[in-house]
Amino acid sequence: MTQRLIQVGTGNQGETWCREFLPPNVADGTVEVVAAVDVNPDALDNAVEHLDLDESRCYTDAGTAMAERDADAVALVVPPSFREELVETALSHDLDILSEKPLSDSMAGALRIVDRVETAGAKMGVTMSHRFRRDVTSLRRRIEAGEAGPVDYLHGRYAVNARSRGSWAGERLYDLDEHPLLVDGAVHHLDLLADMAGERAETVFCRAWNPPYSEFAGDPNAVVQVTMENGTAVAYEGLNTAAATFNGWGAEGVRANGRDATFVLDGGDLRRFDYDPDAEGCLGSARFEDGDPVELDDGDKWGNARLIERFADWCAGGEPMATNARDNLQAMALVFAAIESAETGESVRVQEFLDARREAVSAAD
């Protein structure tokens, strides 16, 4: 069943939705885009050009579009500070919701959103697209299939040369005065690592910093240590001020260490290193190219295009998408617990952090 969709936000990331993510889902009848909204009229040209949307279906006010057009759902491709208000508007028009990450710019906001969506009986998904990239999916499936044996350690690396204003995701994130990397970047990276570990996070410790040669207002760098409830250790390195780009956005490095093999993902290339008892020793090193190449899985859609399809299937009566808003609270809790750790210098117990924030939001209501 084709889902009728209103896209809110057609500039910046919204332009990529118009150009890349929505067209394959329109072409195969998964969705029909019935309206587009952006406060900047010029940005609506992206919907006209890439989605063949008539100008009469382009709006600068989301509430007007929702009132005037028959739709099943809305896609929110706007900065997180605007999401809570737009969720309320969508729910008032009985619409299901698909949102870009992060769910909110605060833990309290994320909890309020989930409570209101569930009270309304609506469906809401979050596009945690990195988890559903082709290379990441291929690695995750091999871990799930037990090809590495029990995995006890996961390492993720994102390291880029983006210290000067505007070189990382445009101007907006350079003005965030607290934790731009953790809120807008590491939310993806920590989510995909936790998903590969296959459990909820138990504890997190984070060190975040902003070097003097950076043009960021807030901390663009962080190292994060996570212990999962199943005992798997996770380490993450996120750098926006490296002298050179080693693992850029979409080309992050991941290493999964198991009893029987280590898998290494680097720049979209996946390699397998089988355990060899005759090669034990502490000298020398294996090069990435020494690993056995692993063919990536086939698929018609990856990333956000795939998540749009999953959301539409859910709305049509299928199983809930993996990154539904309720489950996404775990990703949000991990990020905001990491922020608390960075600010206090102490390790944070993630589930206790989430429970405490949930109680605070309930008390405020």
CB neighbours of residue 316 within 10 Å: 12
Q: What is the mean pLDDT of residues 156-181?
A: 90
pLDDT in tens, 122-145: 999 999 999 999 999 999 999 999
Give residue 171's pLDDT: 80
**14, 41 in Cβ contact below 8 A?**
no
In this model, does residue 64 exceed pLDDT 80? yes
Q: pLDDT tier at 83 (50, 70, 90 boundaries)?
A: very high
Q: What CA–CA distance (Å, rounded) separates 263 from 232?
A: 15
Cα angle value 234/239/243 (rounded, 5°): 140
**263, 142 in Cβ contact below 8 A?**
yes
Q: pLDDT tier at 163 (50, 70, 90 boundaries)?
A: very high
Indicate the domain borders of the chain. Answer: 3-122, 134-293
Q: Which residues of 124-158 are buried (b: 16+ CB within 10 A; e: fewer)?
A: bbbbbbbbbbbbbbbbbebbeeebbeebeebbbbb
Fold agreement (3-122, 134-293): no
Give residue 169's pLDDT: 77
Give residue 71's pLDDT: 98
- Token pair listed for 86: 């737009």
The superfamily in CATH containing domain 134-293 is Dihydrodipicolinate Reductase; domain 2 (3.30.360.10)
**Percent of the chain scored above 90 by pLDDT?**
95
3 state DSSP class of 101: coil
pLDDT in tens, 306-337: 999 999 999 999 999 999 999 999 999 999 99
Q: What are phi and psi of 161, to 5 degrees?
A: -95, 90
Q: How far is CA 20 from CA 16, 26, 76, 300, in A?
A: 5, 11, 16, 13
Q: pLDDT tier at 286 (50, 70, 90 boundaries)?
A: very high
Q: What is the mean pLDDT of residues 270-281?
A: 96
- Token pair listed for 156: 């993720």
Give residue 178's pLDDT: 87
Cα angle value 127/129/135 (rounded, 5°): 160
In this model, does residue 291 exceed pLDDT 90? yes
Give residue 177's pLDDT: 82
**Percent of the chain scored above 70 by pLDDT?**
100
Helix (H) or strand (E) holding 155: strand 151-159
pLDDT in tens, 198-212: 999 999 999 999 999
In this model, does residue 228 exceed pLDDT 80? yes
In this model, does residue 111 exceed pLDDT 90? yes
Of the candidate CATH numbers 3.40.50.300, 3.40.228.10, 1.10.260.40, 3.40.50.720, the domain formed by 3-122 belongs to 3.40.50.720
Q: What CA–CA distance (Å, rounded) separates 338 from 317?
A: 36
**141, 231 in Cβ contact below 8 A?**
no
Q: How many CA atoms lie within 13 A of 186 on its CB side?
A: 33
Give residue 170's pLDDT: 73
pLDDT in tens, 29-53: 999 999 999 999 999 999 999 999 9
Q: pLDDT tier at 191 (50, 70, 90 boundaries)?
A: very high
In this model, does residue 245 exceed pLDDT 80? yes
